[in-house]
Structure 1
């Protein structure tokens, strides 16, 4: 097996070391040189390395990437740019991975604690992990049921292992977007996780002079203090926000929109809107006029995505039936009803306005127009099959379900739903803040 090792510079290969008519080296000299090269290559340190993840680890990482790419639904048809554009406009800093809002404080307090003990040193991922493991174990002991508790990585902590994706990674974007994290070390904005870890040794500065005092950077200006006993290894730790934490978030959310403006998220908090549907009159009434226009555009795009996903699922089901000589028809049965439910909304979509708002590319815009035309003409599933196949193949290559029989074997999916723009998660956040105030 070739492990990607390379000979030391200038050594070449055995073939390159062989004598030529002009080199005039003796056979003994050649053999000696080749033997030396082989000894050096065997003892050389590998130039690259790798590590192996278990199947469970890979599955967990894949779940994170899949859910982060869109609205929690696998995005085989590439609607993620629309989802991101509207979700980030209405609810900046949020993610479908944000199961418990108070994690933003747990992460911030963890970094504060780490900085207090390692200021001026190189960043230690191991120390951060120990802090995360400590508070995670306390959370685990504080809930009755772990399944669905929102505790990040609890299955790994229970097995005394490290999570594949830690809470500090999942929630760091929120700390930056909501300006909980502050610019440090001369940066013009709050650092990314990678930047912060690289800058860690520079977070301590000294005043001029031999007796100058050291000063540690403030990573989170105005952050509420952690609860008493934060550094304890045992004791109850809860996800419920304290009033001071809720007020802090509410204040920051007021300026979390584009250019420091008030986003829809903040306006919904002000009016206590937690309706089941993002498209309710209460949401529209809380929105500014530009946001109401964007909401209307987002709802129409969500309907187009729902129809396209429903047709895609029905087509996979059809082809898998042919593969397996089966007669499944769950998605085929659902398709006509979904088309009728979303038909009017989908056909009202202004694709040009959508492109202006979301900056989607030409291929996605053309695909949307194809879906709309198919719906308008009320044509059968086979009429859209080619467009769906090409779209998925262009995005997923050989991994596309519609062209890969092996991948279709284990395919499972719920009935298609419209894009939700993270509203279920955001609705929970709003409820969490309101309960604390």
Structure 2
């Protein structure tokens, strides 16, 4: 997968996809990821399901700034960055707050470094100014040093003539935002996840400037953290903008409708595997879904508006995906309680999975069926909300701290 080295967004998406294979509630067995991520990116830009704590948004640039100040050459830059990130594990494990530590189990042998997880978010929030992918940034660092040296010489000449220095020209040589707070004196030997007031204000301001129209920005500026199961359950929902309420309404209805499809998929596999306990468990979940299904809202739901809100927002929704979703929604609109006896609906789910998985389809590959863990995509879509809640709480705690003199 070396092709993703040159595309930070593709790298982030790939890492997120790989991580999701480890989360049984989040697996995208029916190919809904493009619409899910379109909603999530509009509501909470710069976030992902593999981000854990907010202060990593500062740990990463602090490490890179340190290496840049040392003028570490490209030949050793990447390896030293790798070493510095792994060295964070121990001091974080010695802190009072261990939740979300990268390497909590694996220690320094962790496979996924924080920088690879936060790189896209750092760019989306305007903390990272270099436009390159992480690996390309590593390779080009000598060019960065040369440009800075050339700029310093040019500025000397400008000052000698009595002219003003071009600040915009200087900004082009920065890899990181010029107002990035300084790291604590003891960093990285002693560190935790508690943001200082200055650090929290910096991140708040970056979100406000880079993503002013997002729900994330609104929550950061106007709301206290809320421990709800989904963003549309937020206690301040009534104060959200009309635009955000519309996005959340469509996101909620999409989540509700497609949750039934995922449960039906699991029921079919459980029956195919002759696992009576699993059949009963998934059947119970399906019945609960029927009982809470907002049928009247779904019948009045504008699917054409759904596509307007989700297509062309950085994610490609194929005609096949649109057709599958529309057909499933039509089935749910008719009679949700009869879906498990609806041959067309059952076959729709089956054909969709077979199309996506090909020879690895659990409906046609006995080995794949045997390896099935019993739960695939059984969690409702909530668009990164569990992760966003943690980030918002970290930020709120930082903003609530007394400013150090």
**Interval of TM-score (by shorter of Structure 1 and Structure 2):** 0.7 to 0.9
- Unpaired runs of at least 5, structure 2: 1-13, 157-169, 312-316, 400-405
Q: Deviations over 1:201-223 (max 9, x none)?
A: 1111233899998x994321211
Following superposition, the deviation at residue 373 of structure 1 comes to 2.3
Unaligned runs of 5+ in 1: 1-60, 184-189
Q: Distance in 1 between matches of 2:43 and 2:152?
A: 50
Matches within 5 A, 1:213-252: 217-221=173-177, 222-232=179-189, 235=190, 237-252=191-206
Structure 1 residues 130-160: Cα deviation after superposition (integer angstroms, max 9, x where no partner): 111222211122247x6xx211123332xx5
User: SS in structure 1 opposite 2:304?
Assistant: helix
1:281-430 alignment runs, 5 A limit: 282-321=235-274, 328-344=279-295, 345-359=297-311, 360-378=317-335, 379-382=338-341, 383=343, 384-410=345-371, 411-413=373-375, 416-430=378-392
CA deviations 1:135-188 (Å, max 9, x no partner) are: 2211122247x6xx211123332xx53x221111011111000000114xxxxx
Question: How many equivalent pairs are there?
Answer: 356
For residues 425 and 210 of structure 1, do their structure 2 counterparts lie closer, same or farther at Cα, with a shift above 3 Å needed? Answer: closer
Find out whether 1:178 has 2:130 as its counterpart: no
Change (3 A) 1:142 1:208: closer
Matched position secondary structure for 1:171: helix
Shift of 1:422: 0.8
Q: Is 1:279–2:232 an aligned residue pair?
A: yes
Shift of 1:243: 0.8
Select between 246-255 and 398-407 the one with higher mean Cα deviation.
398-407
Query: Residues of 1 paired with 2:116 and 2:47: CA distance?
Result: 13
Shift of 1:85: 0.6
Computing the radius of gyration from Cα coordinates, the structure with the larger value is 1
Find the counterpart in structure 2 of residue 142 from structure 1.
95
Distance 1:352 1:339 in 2: 24
Match of 2:208 in 1: 254
200-209 or 223-232: which moved more? 200-209
SS of the residue 1:255 aligns to: helix
Displacement of 1:432 after TM fit? 1.3
Aligned residue for 1:381, secondary structure, equals helix
Instruction: Return the alpha-carbon distance in structure 2 between the equivalents of residues 208 and 376 of structure 1.
Output: 64
CA RMSD of aligned residues (A): 2.9
Superposed CA deviations along residues 286-341 of structure 1, whole A, max 9, x for unmatched, are 422222211111111111121111111111111111xx687742102221221231
Aligned partner of 2:44 in structure 1 is 91
TM-score, normalised with respect to structure 2: 0.79
Structure 1 CA distance, aligned partners of 2:152 and 2:282?
74
Measured in 1, the distance between the counterparts of 2:287 and 2:121 equals 39
Conserved? CA contact 1:70–1:84, under 8 Å: no
SS in 1 for 2:185: coil
Alignment partners' CA distance in 2, 1:280 and 1:210? 57
Cα distance in 1 for partners of 2:181, 2:24 equals 31
Matched residues in 2 for 1:136 and 1:95: separation? 21
**Comparing 324-333 and 289-298, the one that deviates more:** 324-333
Corresponding position: 1:200 with 2:141: yes
Does 1 or 2 have the higher relative contact order (CA < 8 Å, sep 6+)? 2
Greater helix fraction, Structure 1 or Structure 2? 2
Give, in whole Å, the separation in 1 of the partners of 2:327 and 2:363.
Answer: 18
**Are 1:71 and 1:421, in contact at CA under 8 Å, matched by a contact in 2?**
no
